C-alpha cells in the first residue's frame, strides 16, 4: 500500500484498515433506517431468481441497482463516516471516487462457502499494492458463524493472492443488524457457508477509483431520467462527474451538465488537477509555450 502507517494512524478506522484490511463499525445504521431498508428490499429479494454459478452461489440471491429501489440505500451510499473513509483510503489512487456497485446479497440455508478472492481481481492489471476499491457490507440481518458471516483473512491485503489460502486463518465478521463491515479491495475474503435454518441478508455498497470501469454499469442502472431525481453528491458518485485530467467528459464538459441543463453545444473546458494547471501556467508565464 502506498499510504504510510502515520497517515492511517490519524484515524482509528483507517489504522484498522491498514493493520487488518477490514474494520467493523457497530450500529452504524439507525434503527428506523434498518426497518425501512428491510421493507424496501424484501419485495426485490422475493421476486429475484437465485444466482447461477459457483462464484455467485446456487443458493444465493443478489439484487443490484439499489439506488432506484431503496431510498435508504441512497443515504447509506452517502453516509458521512463511511464515505469519508472510502475517500481517504482511495485518495492516493485517484482524483475522485465512484460508486462501484450496490448489491443486496441473501445467503440461503445450505449455501456453501464462497471461494476466497480479492475484489480487485476484477480489473486485469497489477495494482502493485495500491488500493483501488473499498466495500462496505451493511448487515440487514445479524451475521453469525452459523448463517454465513463474511470470512476475512486478516493481513492478506499485504500478501499475494492464494486461492488455496488456509481457511483456518480466517475470521468471520459476526455483527448485529445495522452494523457495517468495511474491507479493502485487496483483502482476501468470501461469503461464509450458511449452516443455519435462516437467511443471512446484507447489502454491499462498493467504491472504487474514479478512473476504473465499474462492476455495475452505473449509466445503465441510473440513466439521466432516473439520475436527475438523485441529490447532486449521489449523481457525481455514480459517475456524472469527470475525473481529472480530462477523463469521462461529456461534450467537453463535466458530465453533471447533462443532468443540470442538457446543453451539448458549449466550449470544451480543461479538467486538470491543480498541480498540472500550475505547471502549465508557469510555462505560459515564462513564455515557454
DSSP secondary structure, 42-105, as one string: HHHHHHSPPP-STTT-TTEEEEE-GGGT-HHHHHHHT-HHHHHHHHHHHGGG-SSEEEEEEEEE
Q: Is 232 helix (H, G, I), strand (E, B) or coil?
A: helix
Is the model's pLDDT at 245 over the cut of 50? yes
Element (H, E) at 204: strand 200-209
Rounded Cα–Cα distance for residues 200 and 140 (Å) = 8
pLDDT of residue 3: 45
The interaxial angle of helices 12-20 and 80-90, nearest 10 deg, is 50
Locate 29 and state its grid cell. Answer: 445504521
pLDDT at 277: 86
SS3 107: strand
Q: Above 90 in pLDDT, residue 161? A: no
Length of the chain: 289
* Cα–Cα distance measured from residue 250 to residue 191, given in angstroms and rounded to the nearest whole number: 38
Q: So what's the pLDDT on residue 1?
A: 37
Please report, for residues 12, 249, 260, 279, the alpha-carbon distance to residue 268 in angstroms, rounded to integers and kept in the order given.
43, 9, 17, 20
Segment (H or E) for 257 = helix 256-260
Q: Is the pLDDT assigned to residue 4 strictly greater than 70?
A: no
Percent residues over pLDDT 70 in the chain: 96
Nearest Cα to Cα of residue 186 among 226, 101, 126, 228: 126
Nearest to 212, CA basis, from 109, 102, 94: 94
Q: What gap in Å lies between CA 63 and CA 201, rounded to an integer?
A: 11
CA-atom Rg of the chain in angstroms: 20
Task: State the residue for C-alpha cell 449455501.
Answer: 111
Confidence of residue 5 (pLDDT cuts 50, 70, 90): very low
80 touches 233 (CB < 8 A): no
Q: Is 262's pLDDT higher than 80?
A: no
The predicted pLDDT at position 39 comes to 98
Q: Which residue has the cell 435508504?
A: 72
Q: What is the pLDDT of residue 265?
A: 64
Which domains does the chain carry? Answer: 5-217 (2.60.120.620)
Q: Give the residue carrying C-alpha cell 480466517.
A: 170
Amino acid at each position: 500500500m502506498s499510504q504510510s502507517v502515520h497517515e492511517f494512524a490519524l484515524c482509528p478506522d483507517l489504522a484498522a484498515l491498514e493493520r487488518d484490511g477490514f474494520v467493523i463499525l457497530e450500529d452504524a445504521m439507525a434503527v428506523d433506517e434498518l426497518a425501512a431498508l428491510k421493507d424496501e428490499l424484501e419485495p426485490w429479494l422475493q421476486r429475484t431468481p437465485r444466482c447461477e454459478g459457483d462464484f455467485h452461489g446456487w443458493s444465493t440471491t443478489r439484487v443490484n441497482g439499489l439506488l432506484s429501489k431503496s431510498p435508504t440505500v441512497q443515504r447509506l451510499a452517502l453516509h458521512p463516516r463511511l464515505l469519508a473513509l472510502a475517500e481517504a483510503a482511495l485518495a492516493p489512487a485517484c482524483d475522485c471516487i465512484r460508486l462501484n456497485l450496490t448489491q443486496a446479497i441473501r445467503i440461503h440455508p445450505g449455501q456453501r462457502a464462497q471461494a476466497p478472492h480479492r475484489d480487485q481481481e476484477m480489473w486485469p492489471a497489477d495494482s502493485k499494492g495500491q488500493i483501488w476499491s473499498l466495500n462496505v457490507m451493511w448487515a440487514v440481518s445479524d451475521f453469525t458463524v452459523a448463517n454465513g458471516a463474511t470470512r476475512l483473512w486478516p493481513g492478506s491485503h499485504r500478501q499475494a493472492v492464494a486461492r488455496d489460502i488456509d481457511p483456518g486463518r480466517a475470521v468471520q465478521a459476526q455483527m448485529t443488524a445495522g452494523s457495517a463491515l468495511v474491507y479493502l479491495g485487496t483483502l482476501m475474503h468470501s461469503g461464509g457457508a450458511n449452516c443455519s435454518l435462516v437467511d443471512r441478508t446484507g447489502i454491499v455498497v462498493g467504491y472504487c477509483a474514479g478512473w476504473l470501469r465499474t462492476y455495475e454499469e452505473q449509466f445503465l442502472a441510473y440513466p439521466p431520467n432516473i439520475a436527475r431525481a438523485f441529490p447532486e453528491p449521489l449523481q457525481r458518485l455514480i459517475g456524472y462527474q469527470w475525473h481529472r485530467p480530462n477523463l469521462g467528459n461529456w461534450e467537453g464538459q463535466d458530465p453533471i451538465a447533462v443532468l443540470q441543463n442538457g446543453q451539448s453545444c458549449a466550449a470544451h473546458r480543461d479538467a486538470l488537477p491543480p498541480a498540472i494547471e500550475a505547471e502549465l501556467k508557469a510555462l505560459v508565464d515564462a513564455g515557454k509555450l
